[in-house]
Amino acid sequence: MMNFNLKRKGKFYRSAAILTVLVCLVMVMAFGLNTTHHVASSTTPRIIKKDSLASVKAFKEVYRVLKSPRCMNCHPSGDIPLQGDDSHLHTMSPKRGVEGKGLFAMKCANCHQPQNAPGVHTPPGNPNWHLPPADMKMVFQGKTPYQLAKQLVNPKQNGNKNMQQLIEHADDGLVLSGWNPGEGRTLPPISHAEFKKAWITWIKTGAYAPKK
């Protein structure tokens, strides 16, 4: 009787142990699968409803705005901002500097006031007018849609932003300034509301990058 009981107990513990190992395995696998998913799902799982077609379509609109002079002029590939609808190098070559705020006598805020200056060819204004910092340049110029989409969702390249912070960036003061550019400058190709809608759609459908 004793013997039999012990045996049964042994069996019970063995199957319990096997079950525990199995459960752990499944958990590890599920976790592994989850992290191989797109970045979007690991940071904000609840807001994402994946749809690669809708996502890529929305990004095409986003891309047109990002590459427009009102945005690209502050996201240059070099260390000098760009000017004008033809995105030529900024006259007098103000340099980025470590913080993106210019150097010495050529600090951005020396000329760029909190508001737009009246008249044509005057500096556009914003209290926070500057380039992205030297250690994270957030370059738009010369980037293909594929490259730019990948860069935008990479926290190591986008200023450590998660998906929620990226969404909120649609209403950032410098982004909004693109639609209040000062006299004589063209507006981005779509309205801010349309841009914001495309931006959020792109992110919430999984932030997919176009093939090229």
Question: Where along the sequence are the contacts to ligand HEC (CB under 6 A)?
Answer: 65-66, 69-71, 73-75, 81, 83-84, 90, 92, 94, 96, 100, 102, 106, 108, 110-112, 121-124, 129-132, 138, 152, 158-159, 169, 174-175, 177-178, 181, 185, 188
Q: How far is the CB of 45 from ligand HEC (least distance, A)?
A: 21
Residue closer to ligand HEC (CB basis): 1 or 174: 174
DSSP assignment of 59-118, as one string? Answer: HHHHHHHHTSHHHHTTS-SSSS-EETTTTEEPTT-----TTSSEETTEEHHHHS-SSPPS
Nearer to ligand HEC, 20 or 191 (CB): 191
User: Nearest distance from residue 32's CB to ligand HEC, in Å?
Assistant: 28
- Angle of CA points 209, 47, 38, to nearest 5°: 35
Shortest distance in whole angstroms from residue 128 CB to ligand HEC: 8
**Dihedral sign of CA atoms 24, 27, 33, 39 in order:** negative
Query: Rounded to whole angstroms, how far apart are CA atoms 155 and 160?
Result: 4
What's the closest the beta carbon of residue 58 comes to ligand HEC, in angstroms?
Answer: 14
